Structure 1
């Protein structure tokens, strides 16, 4: 079919794209980016023509039948369309079916041919070169959402990244929207995970996607005060309609788990739990480099002195809370109510800079090295790497011996850096081979212990799902989540 059906389908799809361009161009001429003119008869006709052209294009791509359930709300009823799950470029289908606006990078409008079609749907443009772009984007969405239906509806993918459709990850909360209308897009034949093999398969075979419009979700007064609770409740309703679990992991967790650093996190790393607590406590610094250096200097002055919970709270300048106790428990290795603050700083560096292994190691060496020779021991290297990977036990004997060729019993950061330059895959060669359970073994040390901040997660599964890092966190108790989120604020 590569030489018969595929070229025909590709030709039809390309022709439909070219055919749509003049209509989109004429309809976009003279349109303002700040105001919306009333939809006159000929513009409405263009809208219908473009929808038909796009439908033929998707038909040529293999999407022969599309099932649409429910009723789409009018822009005046619900200015925001929330779409999930987001997994591939096929999610553009509901955009072309509804002609809703989306949030896109400003550079997209300059793409030949495609840029004209993009401008027609009146997207909210985000400029990467503008430092205030995020704030301006939020303000623009607010302005359109409160226009009383004059602007087209805005379609948002609240997950913030593509997933494998096996669950719904954490929705990014927002405070701008008085009401939301939400839908989901599903492929009943099989779950689509974007890759080259799947894309070839889809262009040859017939797919039967379904698009379901769910009722308008208007936030309660409590949800208006707590956007995170609003996002969780919307996600729960969508997940129930989809028949899939939800997970507490977010876009940031996916970035952390898949970061291409020299110390790639193992499957069962507990730094994902740590990262969630960092976000909930608001401890992720805006000026990362400055704060980490400051923490490193303060930790070095303590010279390994153990801290209790109150001292830990004072170090971070936050009040003692249930979630801070959970954070403290992550580093209370011997359960003697004390921790080494240096481990907290290392973990924070990994969470904030997951791909910059060398900088994390430099910071760690600075905190652990002896004053007289600027070197660390094998035991100290084990603590550093164990914390950086978020695992229970780690043997670093082979690695330490390879670096310490003079057999002095200590290594400096310069020696470590030189070794990394010669062995960029040192973790694979020296850590993962020596620690056979590193990728699959359960993590016991850095686990959140039961406490008041996370009471009775009765829906929590203890097994991993297919993606390896996302266990199902599906609390059945609404009050539990609401209480937890109140603490966040």
Structure 2
């Protein structure tokens, strides 16, 4: 169970734990809140940065319709032609190159580089990016090996890459994309292998090796957000670009057009629709600004997270964009959908960020979760103190671990139930798989007949949904178990899977959006909740 504990002023300034909390008391008839909740996003951005919704006026729809049958086919043909034209140049220039040594640029490779830049610029021109406004000057590789680019919101962010032919950090799978993969290979990318658990360390080592080459390698253009957003706020930067502790040049990107057809986020128009809509615009504007080189202090060299945070603040100020304390690892939590979506993500987001700081999230596997469950079952509900929690997780006691510990409801003797931690951990690691988290919870709480008590299930639901004071009367009414108040996993799973209106309306909780409609099979006013009808 998660409690509400006030953060100190110093903690409020910490980039990874920006959420305030308050103290909640327990009475004999009222449960203590399991997690700190809030109806707002963590800070800064008023919109979910991972969602992009497009709404068109009738005039815009007519324009898109006309462009779709006139200009769009011609543009698509020309863009495809120039991309195919670039392929043999990139393929030839990539032959015989070493992945570890930069050979001297021969005259024909320099000529190939110029040809590729011209071809790619012609391709973007045909796509409607008739001119790209560039402010400031790019520092030479010998002075600045790394360019930090933000916000990252679209595959059209490749424009500055093709204009400079800088290297990028990209996933290995990108190399298998027909034609485009050869173009990526030409700019000598730093490759990330998702299936390799040691990939992050190898990537950081490669960035450091190139950054310390004294300008022999091409500059590395890194998008430190690590994912695409809708540009409503700068999310947290990953530390990879800042670990070498060398000067970086911040680069900001803007798309000033009133109608945003370029943003490609986790929820919104897909890649092909973005391409179609963008090619249907008469003109697409883009601005690239090279900010002054940022030289890290000794403290920032020793603390890449601080270095990244300070550069992010500088870039947000230049953009006039708010900061939002969300990260790539938070996206699934605030985009949670399914039969049991997260209602209020604030407390789970804070918990997730603390896990990242402890290094507990990266590389966590289902097998490790199962090991936690076995250990929790052996404790049979025995509560743990802070030092015992540290032993359970095989971690030293630290300020961050103390913050994790203080998130959870504690008994009068200041101890917590480790099962609550495991339920929260499973929820943030796999938000879409709520049934797997439920099954895991049943393994920890069930009796010899596989049943879980109503009060224990309520605790689990409060943590998973991020809400307060869950009442399961509607659910037990639907099961005809108002007297028994116990349920098996199979009964709960079958009920939630086959009775769609019970997915949320079967649970009553504080500030429920459907308050007053709970436990009615057809919802308020007899209307069905089944969206398929």
**What is the TM-score when the length of structure 2 is the normalising length?**
0.74
SS of alignment partner, residue 217 of structure 1? coil
CA drift of 1:268 comes to 4.5
SS of alignment partner, residue 293 of structure 2? strand
Equivalent position to 1:166, from 228, 232, 235:
232
Q: Find the counterpart in structure 2 of residue 353 from structure 1.
A: 430
Q: How does 1:144-293 map to 2 (within 5 A)?
A: 144-174=210-240, 175-190=243-258, 192-194=262-264, 195=269, 199-205=275-281, 206-260=283-337, 262-284=339-361, 286-293=363-370
| Preserved CA contact (<8 Å) 2:358 2:401 | yes
| Preserved CA contact (<8 Å) 1:159 1:170 | yes
| Preserved CA contact (<8 Å) 2:468 2:510 | no
Q: Find the counterpart in structure 2 of residue 86 from structure 1.
A: 152
Unaligned ranges ≥5, structure 2: 1-66, 516-533
Q: Label 1:411 to 1:171 Cα distance change in 2 as closer, same or farther (>3 A).
A: same
| Preserved CA contact (<8 Å) 1:270 1:391 | no
Q: How does 1:67-146 map to 2 (within 5 A)?
A: 67-128=133-194, 130-146=196-212
Q: Find the counterpart in structure 1 of residue 522 from structure 2.
A: none
Q: Label 1:82 to 1:388 Cα distance change in 2 as closer, same or farther (>3 A).
A: same
Q: Label 1:400 to 1:330 Cα distance change in 2 as closer, same or farther (>3 A).
A: farther
| Preserved CA contact (<8 Å) 1:378 1:397 | no
SS of alignment partner, residue 81 of structure 1? strand
Please tell me the root mean square deviation across aligned C-alpha atoms, in Å.
Answer: 2.9
**What is the TM-score when the length of structure 1 is the normalising length?**
0.81
* 1:419 equivalent in alignment to 2:485: no
Shifted more, 393-402 versus 310-319: the winner is 310-319
Relative contact order, CA 8 A, sep 6+: which one is greater? Answer: 2
Shifted more, 217-226 versus 251-260: the winner is 251-260
CA drift of 1:158 comes to 0.8
List per-residue Cα deviations over 1:38-89 (Å, max 9, x = no partner). Answer: 2233322222222122112111111122110111011111111111111111
Distance in 2, matches of 1:114 and 1:291, equals 38
CA drift of 1:101 comes to 1.0
Distance in 2, matches of 1:299 and 1:111, equals 46
* 1:66 equivalent in alignment to 2:132: yes
Q: Find the counterpart in structure 1 of residue 48 from structure 2.
A: none
SS of alignment partner, residue 98 of structure 2? coil
CA drift of 1:275 comes to 1.2
Unaligned ranges ≥5, structure 1: 442-489
| Preserved CA contact (<8 Å) 1:404 1:411 | no
| Preserved CA contact (<8 Å) 2:469 2:510 | no
Q: Find the counterpart in structure 2 of residue 477 from structure 1.
A: none
Q: Label 1:285 to 1:302 Cα distance change in 2 as closer, same or farther (>3 A).
A: farther
Q: How many residues align?
A: 438
CA drift of 1:290 comes to 4.0
